[in-house]
Amino acid sequence: MASYDNAAEARAWARQNLRGVTGCVMPSFTADMSGLNEAAIVHDIHRELELGFSGFLIVAECGTTAAEFDRFVEICVAESGDALTILQAAEPTVDANIELIKRSADAGVDLVMPSYPLGFYPQSGDEVVAYTKALADASHLGLIVFAMNLWNFERLHPSGFAVDWLRRLVDGVPNIVAIKNEVAEPGVAGISEVFRKFADDVVVADPLEMNSPAWTTSYGMPWMGTSNYEYFGAEVPRYFEMLQDPERYDEAMEIYWRIHPARQASGGLMKEANSGTVFVHRMLWKYQGWLQGFNGGPVRPPHTRLLDRQMRTLRAAAVASGLDVTDEPDTEFFRGRCGA
């Protein structure tokens, strides 16, 4: 649970505590999909901590009801120990997100990272800033701005999330504590600009782990999150920690290159899944985690189907990367490790 009590303290707290790598914990369901599998959720949280993650995103895009998601948040906070818990505020309206943030603050989450709803179609940057500020104002919790180029904001600025919007938020909202920085594909010039302009004000992180050697050496990036790092077992937290020490850079890069086959497989399949949907393939992420000892199991529809071809590709690439992959058949993924 966060040890700061008001919005004015949030930024300093985040500067001190946003460190390491934060992954993702997704809800698991009973075999008949009628409710949460709480034992499986606890299993996944403990596995996250075993692998060396400093915290995790409480993922909202897996078909939970409002009551189930509140319970999921409670479990995550109760089982997280000293690890950071980051709420994904992904309700379909601003009012629903505000209420979720208030309930989650009472439950004891540390930080909030909102998405922008499917029906949010702003006509100006002012609307993006106002929406984000409304969620920050909902509680004392620190808020991570998810600045990326997939919100359909390119009509307002070519980067997908203008630096000017970020400046207004950072300067005007005290509990904006970090920026998850994925702007302006292709290339990294936009990402670098966000680091250059804001790294002295708030924590800035590029969640794409393949870029982390560049940003740790150029801007001293202390934190990376949130994404499907679980596919790599303990290796991403391990090499990211090494990157913080210039004397261990070469050692870190040995791990970096060893896991490159898995990185290529994951990146290729995610681009395939995102094409035309702009949607995270949570079932694929669940399978990636299952290969490394997480519960696995399906998420509620409607969602993206996981194919045999995708599973074969991910398993083979993980083996080629020297990762400790389960030898259980893929059939077991759909059952999950903690039956209920």
pLDDT value at 1 more than 70: no
Rounded to an integer, what distance in angstroms lies between the CA atom of residue 159 and that of residue 66?
Answer: 33
pLDDT value at 112 more than 80: yes
Rounded to an integer, what distance in angstroms lies between the CA atom of residue 280 and that of residue 273?
Answer: 7
Q: Could you report the per-residue pLDDT of 124-160, keeping only the tens digit for each?
A: 999 999 999 999 999 999 999 999 988 999 999 999 9
Fold of 1-19+54-227: TIM Barrel (3.20.20)
DSSP class of 211:
G
Residue pair 283/307 in contact by the 8 Å Cβ criterion: no
Rounded to an integer, what distance in angstroms lies between the CA atom of residue 117 and that of residue 93?
Answer: 7
Give me the chain's average pLDDT, please.
96
pLDDT value at 73 more than 70: yes
* pLDDT score of 339: 85
The torsion angle over the Cα atoms of residues 224, 226, 232 and 235, rounded to 10 degrees, is 20
Q: Could you report the per-residue pLDDT of 168-220, keeping only the tens digit for each?
A: 999 999 999 999 999 998 899 999 999 999 999 999 999 999 999 999 999 99
| Other Cβ atoms closer than 10 A to 206 | 23
Domain residue ranges of the chain, discontinuous segments joined by +: 1-19+54-227, 234-340
**Mean pLDDT (whole number) for 229-243:** 98
